[in-house]
Amino acid sequence: MAAGRTVEQDDLLSIGEFARLSGLSIGALRHYDGVGLLVPAWVDPATSYRRYRRSQVDDARTVGLLRDLEMPLEEIRELLGTDDVRARRDLLSRHRDRVTARATRLHRVIHQLGHLMDPGVTHEEPHVTTTAATTELDPQSQRALAAGLFNRVWELLEMTDRTPADDQQLVNAAHASRYHWAGVGGAKEKAIGDWQISRVYAVLGRGEPAVHHARLALGYATQVEGETWLLASAYEGLARAYAVSGDTHAATEWKAKAEARLAEVEDADDREVVQSDLDALPL
């Protein structure tokens, strides 16, 4: 045990583990720490690694949900800072009223635009229809599904007593998450999505699909500039996939590439996340 640390501190979650369980990105966690919304339980004075309590996961998930619902950070901080049920309800009610007012204004805008497009034609107030065009998921809903399924994959991966049905759910959730990221994300989200699918197949001992998706992840990672950790993570994914496939030589080569690239990563949190994965490679 490192000097100055307690058993309680050793039980804390790394920022990578916390990000996976909460569904928030490491960048978002750093931002929420900076504004005092979601502060780590402990920060290593030597490495600057952030550590979180498992009990903070629920708060983190609440923050992610409320941000998806466009609630201001100040009101989220106020909500998390009180156990008063009525106060929490009032905050949520206030935000709902604000969103409802905005929706009403937008409906009027749509109505007026109809008049401008077709002068003299009587236009009914806009209403929800069930056509194919309107039943498509909006970007916000699709992003929420992608993130929720991504989190579910990590919950299943952490289970020590998964059944065959759980394993199938694991595969389905990973692919479904990646499907939704394809609709709302860029190369970075696609790289992470394929990396996660590769991890799932590696855990299940299925080398061929693990390698396939690890290579897809690498292809997308090379398209993302300024995210050195992402490339290092893609290399780690290939090392893991080849290790599971039984190709120790290729796995060792990709691990070396990952370590070399990881040495270029300046951010301590990003570096720790990839390093923990490298340390756990089945080599």
Tell me the pLDDT tens digit for each residue of 120-144. 655 555 554 444 443 467 787 888 8
**206 located within any domain:** yes
**106 located within any domain:** no
**DSSP three-state, residue 13:** strand
The DSSP element (H or E) to which 90 belongs, if any, is helix 85-117
Asked whether 170 and 200 are in contact (CB, 8 A), the reply is yes
Question: What is the average per-residue pLDDT within 89-117?
Answer: 81
Please count the structural domains in the chain. 2
**112 located within any domain:** no
This prediction's pTM: 0.68
Q: How confident is the model at residue 151 (pLDDT cuts 50, 70, 90)?
A: confident
- Tokens for 249, please give them: 């030589």
Question: Are 30 and 143 part of one and the same domain?
Answer: no
**213 located within any domain:** yes
Q: Is 226 left (phi over 0), alpha (psi -120 to 50) or beta?
A: left
**42 located within any domain:** yes
Over residues 230-255, the pLDDT tens digits come to 999 999 999 999 999 999 999 999 99
Instruction: Please give the residue range of the domain that contains residue 24.
Output: 7-80
Q: What is the domain-level CATH number for residue 57?
A: 1.10.1660.10
Q: What is the pLDDT of residue 3?
A: 42
